[in-house]
Every structure is written in C-alpha cells, then in structure tokens.
Amino acid sequence: MLAAIKSCTQSLIGVVVFLTIASIAIVIVAILILDFVHAPPPYRSRDNAIFILTFYTPIFAISAIIVSFLAFAPSQFFQALVLGGSDWLFGQTRFLVLQALPLTAVLTWYCYDYLTPSDIKLAISGGRDLTPHQHGLTTSRYIMTLAIQTPITLFSFLYFETGTHGRSKKPILIAALAAAIVVGTIQGFGAAQMQLRFP
C-alpha cells in the first residue's frame, strides 16, 4: 500500500507538471499565431503581446498547478488505494485500477466541478457577456472528463508498474512530456483559430 501511495504521489507531481506545460504551450502558441504569424489585433501591439507572454504566462502556470492539483489529487489517492488494496486482497491484480477508470473519472469531474473556481472567468470579466457555470454531471462533461482521465490513469499505472519491476521511468516521462507539448500546441492553435474567426 505504501509503495502505491508513494508511486501515485510521484505520478501526481508528474501529472501536474505536464498539465502545466500543456497550459503554457496553449498560451504561447495562441499568442505567437495571433500576434506574430498574423497581423496583431488592432487593439494590441506586438510589445503588448510580449508583455502578455512574460507576465501572464507565469500567472497562468500557477493557476494551472492549483487547478490540476485540486482536480486530480483525490483521484490519484483513490487509484493508490485501488492499486495497493488489490495487491493486498487479491495478489497481482493491478489492472483493477484500469477497470475502476469510469469511477475515477466521476471523482475527477466532481473535484474539478466543485473544488476549482469554476466562475473565475465571470469574475474577471465583471459578469459581462458570460453566464455562471452550471454545476452538474452531463453526458458530454463525463465523456470529456473520461477522455482526460484515461491517459492520466494510464500514465500512473505505467509509472507504478515500471517502479514495481525496477525498470527505468524515463521513457514514460519523455512520452508524457512530448504528449503534453503536442496537446498544448494543438489546443493553442485551435484557440488562435477560434479567436481569428471571432475577433
């Protein structure tokens, strides 16, 4: 059980780091496309874009760390209990953590929906043109949470397995880092394209 808790704690740190890297990539790619690839918006100069990159990126990173920790720490602890408990009760049946993925996704959704500041955009905008976040689990929210939780659970499972068998964790960490950069780049490109369509 202690090995599972230690491994899931370490993988939680990895998850938070990689989600933060993906969030930073989103901001950087979106700003680069909007302000340096295309003509900058009329209300913003390129100097302003550089200021946004240098000033807001660290703030965005800190926010991503806090939100990632609040959303995923309880589900990582739950996975540690499943990993440790399944070994203790049934022997080498660690795949139960993958079978528990639908329940883990519900826990992650609940933590994200109720522990993170869902209405932060509303507060920043002064309440203009935004409706408050509606809490509750819908099919689309569950599918989205499951899609996000699946690679995180797989990462944690593989991280635990490599530690159990004494293999190097570097390939898993490098693959997760590459995935975070690729996903962040794609999301940043999508955010920039949406902004260009609706100036």
Report domain extents, the chain: 2-197
Residue 137: what pLDDT?
82
Residue 160: what pLDDT?
87
Q: How far is CA 137 from CA 14, 66, 149, in A?
A: 27, 22, 15
Tokens encoding 169: 């964790």
For the ranges 10-19, 35-44, 62-71, 179-188, the lowest mean pLDDT is seen at: 35-44
Residue scoring higher pLDDT (40 or 177): 177
pLDDT surpasses 70 at 119: no
Residue scoring higher pLDDT (93 or 141): 141
Q: How far apart are the C-alpha atoms of 143 and 164, rounded to whole Å? A: 31
Q: 62, 102, 72, 82: which is closest to 12 by C-alpha?
A: 72
Residue 121: what pLDDT?
44
Q: How far apart are the C-alpha atoms of 188 and 143, rounded to whole Å? A: 21
The overall average pLDDT reported for the chain is 83
